[in-house]
A and B are shown apart, each in its own frame.
Chain A
C-alpha cells in the first residue's frame, strides 16, 4: 500500500498528464464517431454568442456580394414561376388548403456565424437551433449549391459538417445521365472536390454538371453542385475526377436548412426491407 502511494506521489505529474491526455483523446474519438458530438462543439451558448456578436460586424462587409446572390436567385425563381403558370391547366391544378399536404421539403433560412474552409476537417456554425425545429442530419444549401449536413444542435445554434470534411460523403449524380457517384474532398483546394464510385459505363466529359442524387433522405434531388474540371481514364476506370464547385465556400453568408418531412417514413421503410 505504501509503495502504491509512493509510486503515485513520485509520478503524480505524469499521471495527471496521462489522465488529461486520455480525456482529450476521448473527445476526439467522440467527435468523429457520433453524429451529434455531445460536448465539444461550437453550438453552445458561449461560443455561439461570441460568434454571432462578431458576425454582426462582419456581415456589413458581405452585404454587396450577398445582395448580388439574392437578386440572381430572385430572377431565377421568377422565371421559373412564369414558366409554371403556362404549364398549369386550370382544371387539373387545385390548391389544397390543408397544411403541408403533399409538401416534402421544408426550408428554414439561417445565417452562418462561423465558417472555416482551410483545415482538413471543416465545419460551420449557424444561428438557428432546436428552438426552430432544427435536428441533426438536415441538409444545408444555398442558391449556388450544397454546403453540408447539420451535426450538433443546441437551443439557439447548430454546427454543420461541411462538404470540405474528411467524413463528408454526399450522394450525387450526373445531370445528363442517371449514373450515381459519391462526392468527397481530398483536403487540398477548397473549390475542388472529388467524385468517386462512378461506374465505367458512364460517359463523362469535362464541363458536365453534377447534381444531388436524391438517393439519400437528406438533400432534395437536382440541386446543382459543380462541374467536372478534369479526369483520368485508366485501366477501364475513371480516376481523379475533379469537380469545381459553383459555390465559393470562402464567401457564404445566408443558407437554407432543408428538412425532409418524409425522412423518417423513408428510413423506417428501408430498415424494414433490410430486416425481412
Chain B
C-alpha cells in the first residue's frame, strides 16, 4: 500500500518536471510539444477511489499550468479525461475481461491499451488546444495541432510505459 502511494507520488513529480523542463521545449518540426504527463492518469490504479483520482489529476494539470503560465487549461483537460477514464475503459474492454483489482495496462492486450490511450490523448489534446485558441475561426489549427501532437504523445507514452513498467 505504502509503496503504491510512494510510486505514484514519484511518478507525479517526475512527470511534471519531465513535462515542463524537457518536453515543453522540444519543438519538434518547429511547433510540436508532446504532453506526456497524462500517462500518470493511464497508470493510476483503478481500485483507488474516484475522488482521489479527480483531485490529484486536477493538481497534476494545475502544476503544469503553473509552470507554463496557461491559466487552468491543462487542469481542465486533465480533470476531464480522469473523469471519463473509467467509462471509456469499460467500453473498450466490453466489461467481460474486466477485473477491478488486478487491472494493469500491461496486462490487457496491446490493441486495447493502444485504443484506450489514443482516445484519452485525443480528447485531452483537443480540449487543451480549443481552450488555448478559444475561437471557432482557428478550428483548422486546433484540429491540425491536436492530431499531430497526439501522434507524438501516443508514441512517447507507449514507449515509456513499455520501458518503465514490469510485465505481469
Closest to A250 in B: B27
Return chain B residues, CB-CB under 8 Å to A168: none
Q: Check if A24 sits within 8 Å of B66, measured CB to CB.
A: no
Return chain A residues, CB-CB under 8 Å to B33: 118-119
- For this complex, 8 residue pairs linking A to B, each with C-beta atoms less than 8 Å apart, are A24-B72, A27-B72, A30-B71, A31-B71, A50-B21, A120-B141, A166-B133, A187-B141
Return chain A residues, CB-CB under 8 Å to B62: 24, 27, 40
Chain B, interface SS category: helix
Q: Does B161 contact A (CB under 8 A)?
A: no
Return chain B residues, CB-CB under 8 Å to A51: 67
Q: Check if A40 sits within 8 Å of B65, measured CB to CB.
A: yes
Return chain A residues, CB-CB under 8 Å to B36: none
One of A12-20, A104-112, A213-221, A224-232 contacting the partner? A12-20
Q: Check if B132 sits within 8 Å of A121, measured CB to CB.
A: yes
Count of chain B residues near A, Cβ 8 A:
38
Cα A32 to Cα B133 in complex, Å, equals 12
Closest to B49 in A: A13
List chain B positions with a Cβ less than 8 A from chain A: 17, 20-21, 24-25, 27, 30-33, 50-51, 54-55, 58, 61-62, 65-73, 75-76, 79-80, 83, 129, 131-134, 138, 141
Known contacts A40-B65, A121-B70, A187-B141: A28-B76 contact under CB 8 Å: yes
Return chain B residues, CB-CB under 8 Å to A29: 71
Q: In chain A, residues 20-43, which have Cβ atoms closer than 8 Å to a Cβ of chain B?
A: 20-21, 23-32, 37, 40-42
